Structure 1
Amino acid sequence: MLVFRTRTADAGSAAFWAFLVAYSVSSFGTFLNLIALSLFTLEVTGGPVGLGAVMAVRVGSGLLSGVLAGKLAARFDRRRLMVCADLAQATAMIVLGIAGRAAGLGGLMVAAAVLGVGNTVFSVSLRTSVPAMVGQEHRVRANGRLVAGRSLGTVLGYASAPVVVLAGGFEAAFLVNAASFLVSAAVLWILPLRTNVSGQDEGSVPSTGPRSPALAGLPLAVLALVLIRGSDAFGSASHNVALPIHAGTEWPGAPYAFMSWFWTAWAIGSIAVQWVVRRMDRGGGVRLDERVFAAGTVLMSVAFVVAFTGLPVPVLVAVLFVAGLADGLTEVAYLSRLQAAPEAERARLFGLSATAETAGFAAGMATCGLVLEVASPPVVVAAYHCLPVLVAGIVLLRIRGRQVSKKGS
């Protein structure tokens, strides 16, 4: 296969745009698969116990592979890691698409494990690679476009899942997902994009903090951001689990239509982030720093809580647009801040981040269903989003305290 010499592009180069399209296609396939695989598992196993087992394997494998993915991304060529992750996931989907129901619960659990590990390795490798791909000075804009592309793929994947399954069955959905992974792998292999930097790069984060083996040498300020991110994932699990129940209450005759409105409005806000980031990047006024990340997390949580209060559709759409905008802005700020770390440290941070995010989401998913048995969706969503608001609020107060002390000295 033809492979071009690698080089650093910028966020507006043809090579980066080609990768962005491929990444969006891969995201589309992934979120199409989330719906199709869940429904297929219910059909094969005949109940929620089997579905719970498969989802536990998928989430658990992603959780356990987070730190390992960081080590791999620090030691090996990240382009090859991402290509291998795509090919492994494509193979799992092709086997599942051909085998169909004959795969059984065992085959589903193997596929779920491959998807969990593959997604984590790809995500950690990509996030670590962005400064090498486009240069440190262009990473913020590149992150904005990647977030927008994934959000678009997310909504299209969710929306098309019923259509694809009805038209061609679950096997067709799995093969479409496999094709999306193959597109991503092929584009990554061919494009002249750097993913690794030899020697020391210009990223710099002070190395002070805990002494435990997993966290040794990592700065406390950055670890605080990872903690916010994990708590945010915990809160986000609540509105993901509660939404189908809430949709059935709000629009009993068309709950799926309500969910489509919900996620489409959120996605539009998330996609709009790239324009906000571009204006901020050009203006040089407001920096996407820790304060923006923490404040954006609070705004996003409040917006999701308000979205479950039975609002009229126009107001709901506006609130969800704000939630999507805050969601996208916090992700861009978070990724850009961690990418400012030195090359060797960056991969560890993103591996740790993947573990924290998956652990938070898994804890939220595991407990939220039980809480929904005794409380309504609005109450559950509000309670769960209290954690990220509390953690982000504490971090904001500490940042404010440091600024005051610096001015006083």
Structure 2
Amino acid sequence: MTDAYQDGEMINRSARNSGLIVLARFISDFGAFLNMVALSTYVYILSQSVMHVSIFLACRVTGGILASVFGVPFFRRFTGRLSLVSFDVIRAALLAMLLIFPSSVQLYILPFIALGIGIGNSMFAIGLNSQLPWWVDESRRVATNAWLTSASATGAVTGSMVSGILLAASGYELVFVTNILTYLLAGLCILPLRFLITPAANELKSQRKEWSNLVKGLRVAPLMAGMLLVTMADTLGSAAHNVGFPIISELLTSGSPGKTMGLLLAVWASGKFAGARAANYVLLKRGIKTERLFFYGVALMSLGFIFTFQQHGVPLALVFIFIAGIGDGLADVSLISRIQSENESLRLPIFSLMTLLQMTGFGVGMLIVAPFYIWLTPALVIIIFHGIPLVTLTIVWLYSRKWQPSH
């Protein structure tokens, strides 16, 4: 009777934790995109300089890179919900500085705010993803990851849309106040979380030892290493289509490019939502391997974006960007679920490495891609940069078939 009660309590706690984590992720990503849109335009209004906007965005990316480096020792020492809540409070406090300091000072502190928010966003994601197996039981984990991806996509679009509406209606102060509240609400969602099983105390290792163990672990898991390599290659494709969205929107509808870009992003997010739900079904019901689904997802995503940028009309562009979103959702859920299946000693370093690859690749990719749009047509640029993950994917796939024993 006692065992049955304890099992029931564990199931209820896991379900409650899962719901709170998904809600926290939605609110956190909503806030992240709310301030990304608002702060980028705010920096430009204050400075009237594209260079200042570039510095601001570079500081934000740098924050993500720093988080990927220091995330491992931090979460080895500070586990649990309070470490995540602290990053919500820090992000809220940084934004509060814009309500306290006069506009004449704000231009000089905005790069530091961007750096802090970049660190906070990435540390929150690393800590949440790496510790999720301690909060959610294995049977519910894939479903939770699917809902996390769905919540992230929904938060991205609604955050961008609400930011624009609030800016048009009331100005920047209301956006900053709303953003502060979102981070505090995300922290409140994290506070009730309770571990299913209290994790054992971690042995603190040097950074060199952590990364050495990671390299050894990836050597015996070549498919996992291949997934990370494809993820790094995919950041170049992501940089290309993010830079290209305003350009393709202008080409599709020169009269209202902003409206078209918003529509493209909304349909992409809808596709990502559908892809996340589909990943939940095929991984749990069909028993397809996470590695295989990841490769299918990346291929579908890159091909979807390639065909999107070949279109001359909005309807077909929306069809293909929806397909790209489905691939994104499939790849995202399968990658995170695969990493979470690793043992605890490797799970945190892999999430940190993934963040490092994504932030570095995206930052470098934005710098590399921009000149190509001057030299070549958008359709050709996307073929080149989304062709890179497709080629990498093919090489990894062929290698994996050679490595796997025949049956």
| Superposition TM-score, scaled by structure 2 size | 0.90
1:278-304 superposed Cα distances (whole Å, 9 cap, x missing partner)? 3224424323x2222122212211110
- The alpha-carbon deviation at position 10 of structure 1 amounts to 7.0
- The alpha-carbon deviation at position 308 of structure 1 amounts to 0.8
| 2:50 corresponding residue in structure 1 | 48
- 5 Å matches for 1:100-179? 101-179=103-181
Three-state SS of the structure 2 residue aligned to 1:172 is helix
Distance 1:163 1:196, change over 3 A: farther
Does structure 1 residue 296 correspond to structure 2 residue 297?
yes
Distance 1:19 1:85, change over 3 A: same
RMSD between aligned residues:
2.3
- The alpha-carbon deviation at position 232 of structure 1 amounts to 1.0
Distance 1:230 1:103, change over 3 A: farther
Distance 1:126 1:175, change over 3 A: same
Q: Match of 1:231, as an amino acid?
A: A
Between 361-370 and 351-360, the greater mean CA deviation after superposition? 361-370
Mapped contact 1:269–1:325 kept (Cα < 8 A): yes
| 2:75 corresponding residue in structure 1 | 73
1:248-281 superposed Cα distances (whole Å, 9 cap, x missing partner)? 1211111111112211111111112343133224
- 5 Å matches for 1:170-189? 170-189=172-191
Q: Match of 1:305, as an amino acid?
A: I
| 1:330 corresponding residue in structure 2 | 331
Does structure 1 residue 321 correspond to structure 2 residue 322?
yes
- The alpha-carbon deviation at position 212 of structure 1 amounts to 6.6
Distance 1:364 1:393 in 2: 21
- 5 Å matches for 1:234-245? 234-245=236-247
Three-state SS of the structure 1 residue aligned to 2:191 is helix
| 2:376 corresponding residue in structure 1 | 375
Distance 1:214 1:115 in 2: 30
Does structure 1 residue 271 correspond to structure 2 residue 273?
yes
Unaligned runs of 5+ in 2: 1-8, 203-208
Distance 1:213 1:25 in 2: 36
Distance 2:23 2:363 in 1: 29
Between 289-298 and 337-346, the greater mean CA deviation after superposition? 289-298
- 5 Å matches for 1:236-255? 236-255=238-257
Distance 1:224 1:35 in 2: 33
Q: Match of 1:217, as an amino acid?
A: K
- The alpha-carbon deviation at position 38 of structure 1 amounts to 0.6
Mapped contact 1:78–1:126 kept (Cα < 8 A): no
- The alpha-carbon deviation at position 11 of structure 1 amounts to 9.9
Distance 1:11 1:194, change over 3 A: closer
- The alpha-carbon deviation at position 100 of structure 1 amounts to 5.6
| Superposition TM-score, scaled by structure 1 size | 0.89
| 1:217 corresponding residue in structure 2 | 216
Distance 1:361 1:86 in 2: 24
Distance 1:11 1:357, change over 3 A: farther
Distance 2:402 2:44 in 1: 51
Unaligned runs of 5+ in 1: 1-6, 201-209
- The alpha-carbon deviation at position 145 of structure 1 amounts to 0.4
| 1:406 corresponding residue in structure 2 | 406
1:32-77 superposed Cα distances (whole Å, 9 cap, x missing partner)? 1111111001111211111111111111121122021122223321
Three-state SS of the structure 1 residue aligned to 2:158 is helix
| 1:343 corresponding residue in structure 2 | 344
Distance 1:332 1:65 in 2: 22
| 1:390 corresponding residue in structure 2 | 391
Q: Match of 1:375, as an amino acid?
A: L
Q: Match of 2:311, as an amino acid?
A: G
Distance 1:217 1:275, change over 3 A: same
Query: More helix by proportion, 1 or 2?
Result: 2
1:63-95 superposed Cα distances (whole Å, 9 cap, x missing partner)? 122021122223321312211111111111111
Distance 2:13 2:147 in 1: 8
Q: Match of 1:44, as an amino acid?
A: L
Q: Match of 1:225, as an amino acid?
A: M
1:364-402 superposed Cα distances (whole Å, 9 cap, x missing partner)? 111222222222222212211121111111111112223
Mapped contact 1:97–1:172 kept (Cα < 8 A): no
Three-state SS of the structure 1 residue aligned to 2:376 is coil
Aligned length in residues: 390
Mapped contact 2:252–2:314 kept (Cα < 8 A): no
Distance 1:29 1:91 in 2: 14
Q: Match of 1:189, as an amino acid?
A: L
Distance 1:233 1:241, change over 3 A: same
Three-state SS of the structure 1 residue aligned to 2:341 is coil
Q: Match of 2:348, as an amino acid?
A: A
Distance 1:81 1:150, change over 3 A: same
1:113-166 superposed Cα distances (whole Å, 9 cap, x missing partner)? 111111111010011012111122321111000000010011101112211112
Distance 1:252 1:97, change over 3 A: farther
Distance 1:9 1:38 in 2: 43
Distance 2:213 2:374 in 1: 37
Distance 1:11 1:230 in 2: 36
Identity of aligned residues (%): 27
| 1:95 corresponding residue in structure 2 | 97
